[in-house]
Amino acid sequence: MVSVKPTLTGEIDANPSQGKTSVLKALRNNKVAYASFWFLVLIHVAVFLGPVVWTVNPEELQAAGSLAGWSFQHPFGTDDLSRDVFARMLHGGRVTLIVGLVAMLFSLLIGTVVGACAGFFGKVVESILMRITEAMMAIPTFFFILVALTVLGTSPTMVIVVIALAGWMEIARVVYGETLKWKEYEFVEAANASGATPFRILTKYIIPQIVPSIIVAGTLTIAAAILTESAISYLGLGIQAPTATWGNMLQNSQQYIWTAPVLGILPGVAITIVVLAYNFLGDGLRDALDPKFVKK
Amino acid sequence: MLRFLVNRLGQSIILLLIVTIITFFLINLAPGGPSSTMRMDATAEERQAMVENLGLDQPVLVRYVDWITNAVQGDLGVSFNTSEPVTQRILERLPYTIELTVFTIIISVLLGIFLGVLSAIKRGKAQDHVINFFSVIGLSVPAFWLGLMLILLFSINLGWLPSSGVGSRGGEFSLWGYVSHLILPVLILTTTVLPNIVRFTRSSMLEVISQNYIRTARAKGAKESIVLYVHALRNALIPIITIIGMLIPRLLSGAVITEAIFGWTGIGTLIIEAARGRDYPLVMGVTVVITVVVVVCNLLVDILYSRVDPRVKNV
């Protein structure tokens, strides 16, 4: 943000190809995004290394009985099936975050390929790919997620694939727009004239320019993927028990909302702050990476 | 204008065909498809009867053509689990969802435009930051969890509002009974679309404000309030029509969750029942009806857009 200075005409005087260091520096100026970044690092460390320290088995029944309050043995108490809630939060978080991350990577792959091909090749390829993208955006994807999971089953792999298939369109549009812009530049023309294959031009010259936008879109896609996972788990069509995810921990909590509200509050708070942090980070990165958005 | 309409209509029909083909083949070709979901205790004759009844002995392409021919005439087949016509079951439930979404659209559009304009005018000030902050929170909270928390607060702790149901319908009408059942579901559904409308209005308004004719208006000495509300807002509103069209799929997806939390007997709970009960004709029917609703809404938005902004007509 700091490297961008509005001039008298209202135009933005910024170098479009900022280096990595200035991105981190710019992000540091956005306190909320910067804090979100470190918070996410912390959460990932906690969720991935936590189970090494806190060795209670999340699927094992505890002697404390069901719906026990907090104690030193069980800092967050136990759930309706007398399992340790703290251990389930750690393991569940691991599953939820991995689902979000891997689904995002899949979406990114599909979106980048579709967007880049449509933008670069134009003509028929463009019409077909972008019409499909628009069609996918125009339908309520959540219905399709439900249908697909009903038919294809609810294994973690299927959940990831289905979430990814429902979430690549925004990325495709971003990459498409950027590809259209970058393919007009002289260095791409030069590469073309020197006989580089389309594959080489895309991967060596165009996509590297789009990486910042892809990072932003990817960050926001993780947030959306985590929300989708939790919603389908709540409906009982996501990853199944006994494997814990933050989403399916909420599934039964509605029944116990009288007796043990903490069962419903904890996973929800965890999902909300992680998604919030990803959204803040995504917004912050967008401001830091794209001078266009600073103008608005 | 006519060419524009025909073009749009053609695109809509193609979209509908693609959606039905994908759904139909997904359902029928998957290993867990209809033929494998008959009751375990069914006798060989029952099985045979069902296979013939559903035409499962036909190739999938033939079945699709049959299905689409009937669907065009309003016959979406018969539900596996209740043996009622799918069309009838959907028509029973659809009004509830329409009710929920229409209230939500009205509230979120009015509130969203108000907050978005406020945020743009007070850009960089406290109001802008507060609105922005809550927009991001609204985008990040899982709707169903927020619903649970509101039930915990308003239904369980305070006892002000009912936690589920659609109120007494058909019985004696009471305004409070009707409104009280709507408050929480509409509130939850509003949070799923309001942040997008606020953010979009804000950026649309900021873009218009930076244009030359606004500078001209200011330069000729027009009052700031007139510049903002008369000159700027009118043009800023045009792109907002599009975002409302784009939000309709999101709204309907949100309705599934909202209806599930509050036991609202609309089309959202119907598809969950259908999915859990593996009631394929019903799943297929709901998907198609929802897509038709979305396509029709998008068509209306496009027409409205071309009326408001004459530049679009020739596209």
Q: DSSP readout, chain A?
A: -TT-EE-TTS-EE--SS--HHHHHHHHHHSHHHHHHHHHHHHHHHHHHHHHHHS---TTSBPTT-TT----SS-TT-B-TTSBBHHHHHHHHHHHHHHHHHHHHHHHHHHHHHHHHHHHHH-HHHHHHHHHHHHHHHHS-HHHHHHHHHHHH---HHHHHHHHHHTS-HHHHHHHHHHHHHHTTSHHHHHHHHTT--HHHIIIIIIHHHHHHHHHHHHHHHHHHHHHHHHHHHHTT-SSPTTS--HHHHHHTGGGGTTT-HHHHHHHHHHHHHHHHHHHHHHHHHHHHH-HHHHH-
Local structure of B85: helix, strand or coil:
strand
Model ipTM value = 0.78
Q: With contact defined as beta carbons under 8 Å apart, do A290 and A211 qualify?
A: no
CATH 1.10.3720.10-classified regions of chain B: 94-308
pLDDT-based confidence at residue B35 (cuts at 50, 70, 90): low
Mind listing the pLDDT tens digit for each residue in B39-97?
Answer: 555 566 666 666 666 666 677 788 888 888 888 887 877 877 777 888 888 888 888 88
Residue A112, pLDDT score: 93
Q: Which of the four CATH numbers 3.30.1490.20, 3.20.20.70, 1.20.1340.10, 1.10.3720.10 does domain B94-308 have?
A: 1.10.3720.10
Q: How far is B172 from chain A (nearest CA, A)?
A: 30
Q: Is there a contact between A235 and B149 if contact means CB atoms under 8 Å apart?
A: no
The SS3 call for residue B78 is strand
Segment A10-35, tens digit of pLDDT: 333 344 444 455 666 777 777 888 88
Q: What is the pLDDT of residue B138?
A: 87
CA distance A132 to A116: 14
Position A290: which residue type?
D
- CA-CA-CA-CA torsion sign (B142, B143, B149, B152): negative
Contact (CB, 8 A) for A207 and A191: no
Give the tens place of pLDDT for each residue, A214-273. 888 898 899 999 999 988 888 888 888 778 888 888 887 777 777 777 778 888 888 999
B257 contacts A231? CB cut-off 8 A: yes
Confidence of residue A290 (pLDDT cuts 50, 70, 90): low
* Minimum CA–CA partner of A276 in chain B: B140
Q: Which of A96, A130, A143, A283 to mutate to test the interface with B (most CBs of B within 10 A)?
A: A143
- pLDDT, mean of residues B269-279: 84
Which pLDDT does position B31 carry in this prediction? 58
With beta carbons under 8 A apart, name residues in chain B contacting A138: 15, 249, 294-295, 298
The burial class, CB within 10 Å (0-12 / 13-18 / 19+), for B274 is buried
pLDDT, chain B, mean: 80
Q: How far is CA B136 from the centre of its chain?
A: 21
Q: Do B136 and A140 touch (CB under 8 A)?
A: no
CB-count burial class (<10 Å; 0-12, 13-18, 19+) for A44:
middle
pLDDT by residue (tens digit) across B172-217?
A: 667 777 777 788 889 889 998 899 889 888 888 888 888 888 888 8
Quote the mean pLDDT of chain A: 80
Looking at residue A21, its pLDDT comes to 54
B267 vs B80, which has greater pLDDT? B267
**Does the beta-carbon distance from A150 to B252 stay under 8 Å?**
no
Mean pLDDT of A105-117: 94
CB of A230 closer than 8 Å to CB of A250:
yes
Nearest CA in chain A to B277: A150
Q: How far is CA A266 from the centre of its chain?
A: 21
Of A150, A272, A296, the CB nearest to B206: A296
CA distance between the termini of chain A: 13
pLDDT (average), residues A127-141? 83
Amino acid at position B188, single letter: I
* Whether this model's pTM surpasses 0.90: no
Find, among A173, A181, A235, A260, the residue nearest to B268 by Cα: A235
Q: Classify residue B176 by burial, with Cβ atoms within 10 Å: 0-12, 13-18, 19+.
A: exposed
Check CB contact under 8 Å for A234 and B257.
yes
Chain segment A41-80, per-residue pLDDT in tens: 888 888 888 777 777 777 776 666 666 667 666 677 777 6
- Mean pLDDT of the region B15-44: 68
